[in-house]
Amino acid sequence: MGRRVGLGDLSALTEQNAAPTGKRTAFHPASLDAVNFLLADVRGALGPYLNVFLVTQQHWSQSEVGLITTIPGLLGIAVQTPIGGAIDETHAKRGVIVLALGVLAVAAVVIFALPRFWPVAVANTMMAIAGDVFGPTVAALTLGLFVRKQLARRMGRNSAFDHAGNVTIALLAGVVGYFFSQRAVFLLVPLVAVLTVFAVLSIPADAIDHDRARDLGGESESDKDGAPSGLGVLFAKRELAIFGLCVMLFHLANAALLPLVGQKLAAAWPKEATAMMSACIVAAQLVMLPIALVVGRTADSWGRKPLFLAGFAVLPIRAVLYTLSDNSAWLIGVQILDGVGAGIFGALTPLVISDIMRGTGRYNLAQGGIATVQGIGASLSGLVSGVVVDHFGYTATFLTLGAIAAVAVAVFAIGMPETANGDHRETAQDHSGEPEASGSANSAIRSMSSGLAPGGQKVPPGDYTNRTKH
């Protein structure tokens, strides 16, 4: 009998044996947890706080804020799909994240030092381009570090740590904004960026299976003989086109809601504006965290579509509820519903894309394509909401965004097929609760999944990972 080890060691064991081309360096799953947590911190300090800062402290009009978010957003959108294609090709995925972190840190300092139109426009453009990198690159790292049957739970865990990071940065930003200034919040970015660099570099470069990271072929060496599909695969996949339309409509309706709520709260509570915004973010993120974990555990057994449909359906309800009261407690309470929709969306999106693009070798290109239409929706959301608020007020804007969200629900319900296939569901029904690994670990883990240790000894359900290294 040897020592007992934890669930985290199964991931390390799998990584050592998953690659078909030889033994890879073991990595600790906590490294990827830290990357997701800290990247959320870096991005969170630059999101809705910028809008509130420009409106309440720099006295920009709604149309100016809409312009400063739309133009850089559209420029950033133009490079999202090429970035995804480049991530497919490069083996320097860690370096890509480090470079983007540097750009983001510089942009945050520029906004802090020079909060005028053109400096903010340039900095916001650089932020948009750098922000395009993180989502697809982290998803690619996840595919390269974990075998397919582990993806649902791992993607859910990624999303959970991302939400935990958002809660942390929201609390920090609230404290900094209250005791110092809204402007000082942007200085959190370079500080957290340094920590993120260390987390990224703690993942060994040779622990990543770069064929699997682009979703090329299967898990075995014989499955990986084919070349990647042509670029036209983005247009040949009907499911991808429908999903992209739904994503665009979702973000067209959703992206402006939190900044609009933040502006209403800031108008009523000017000194507490940053703290109020942080309360909105924390309220939603605390819900997103468990939602992401539940989605990761149920996406294989329940299927992707029912979960996604529930996430889409929450959005129009939330938009309408915002119109019922201006009370700060009500607005923050309604914002909790964002945790349901966004929690499901964040955990399932990379998984659905992986389902659709399986075996094509163009996973990150598709990630970039979906990020492009998502960015179009989010950028237009800021412009549309700004114009409608200036001319018709907040209530009309919330109802307009709610109507767009209702269209997204209908399109998804009618046009989007289920993407989970049979082998996902078989894995989910395994009473052990853990997916099958690949490579030389297969036989041992198959034995343990049926309740037996490799030598035939009975192992209690859920406890087999304690024996994997003996």
Q: What angle do CA 374, 173, 370 make, to 5 degrees?
A: 10
Q: What is the pLDDT of residues 449-465, one digit of tens each?
A: 334 333 334 444 334 33
Tokens of 458: 């009975």
What pLDDT band is residue 423 in, cutting at 50, 70 and 90? very low
Q: What pLDDT is recorded for position 315?
A: 93
Give 446's pLDDT tier (boundaries 50, 70, 90): very low
Domain contains 6: no
Average pLDDT over residues 435-444: 37
C-alpha to C-alpha distance for 142 and 144, rounded to whole angstroms: 5
Q: Over 50: is that where the pLDDT of 92 sits?
A: yes
The two tokens of residue 166 are: 């958002």
Quick one: angle between helices 80-89 and 117-145, nearest 10? 40
Q: Is 412 within a domain?
A: yes
Percent of all residues in the chain with a pLDDT value above 70, rounded to a whole number: 79
* Domain carrying residue 421: 29-200+231-426
Q: Which two tokens stand for residue 44?
A: 């969170």
What are the b/e assignments for 93-120, b being 16+ CB within 10 Å?
bbebbbebbebbbbbbebbbeebeeeeb
467 in a structural domain: no
Say if 166 falls within a structural domain.
yes
Number of domains in the chain: 1
Using one digit for the tens of pLDDT, what is the confidence trace for 263-319? 888 777 777 766 777 777 777 878 888 998 899 888 888 989 999 999 999 999 999
* pLDDT tens-digit readout, 185-218: 888 889 999 999 999 999 998 888 888 888 876 5
- 8 A C-beta contact, residue 132 and residue 355: no
Q: Structure tokens of 82?
A: 């090429």
**Separation of alpha carbons 215 and 354, rounded Å:** 7
Burial of 306 (0-12, 13-18, 19+ CB in 10 A): exposed
How much of the chain, in percent, has pLDDT values that exceed 90?
23
Residues near 89 by beta carbon (within 8 Å), at least 6 away in sequence? none
Q: Identify the bridge partners of residue 452 per DSSP, sorted by sequence position.
A: 458
Q: Is 183 helix (H, G, I), strand (E, B) or coil?
A: helix
DSSP-assigned letter for residue 14: H
Q: pLDDT by residue (tens digit) across 106-140?
A: 988 998 888 888 888 888 888 888 887 888 899 89
Distance CA 147, CA 209 (A): 10
User: 444 phi and psi, to 5 degrees?
Assistant: -65, -45
User: CA angle 395-401-404, nearest 5°?
Assistant: 145
Is the C-alpha dihedral spanning 329, 331, 335, 336 positive or negative?
Answer: positive
pLDDT the model gives residue 253:
92
Q: How confident is the model at residue 429 (pLDDT cuts 50, 70, 90)?
A: very low
User: Given this model, what pLDDT does residue 468 score?
Assistant: 38
pTM: 0.69
Residue 109 in domain: yes
- What pLDDT does 46 receive? 63
Closest CA to 62 of 394, 393, 390: 390
| Phi/psi of residue 461, nearest 5 degrees | -55, 140
Give pLDDT tens digits for 155-190: 889 988 988 888 888 788 878 877 888 788 888 889
Mean pLDDT, residues 392-407: 93
pLDDT tens-place string over residues 36-84: 999 876 665 566 677 777 877 777 777 777 777 777 767 777 888 888 8
pLDDT of residue 217: 62
Distance CA 361, CA 216 (A): 4
Least Cα distance to 128 among 83, 185, 74 occurs for 74
Q: What confidence tens digit (pLDDT) does each residue in 328-373 have? A: 888 888 888 888 988 898 889 988 998 998 888 888 889 888 988 8
For position 293, which CATH number holds?
A: 1.20.1250.20
pLDDT of residue 441: 37
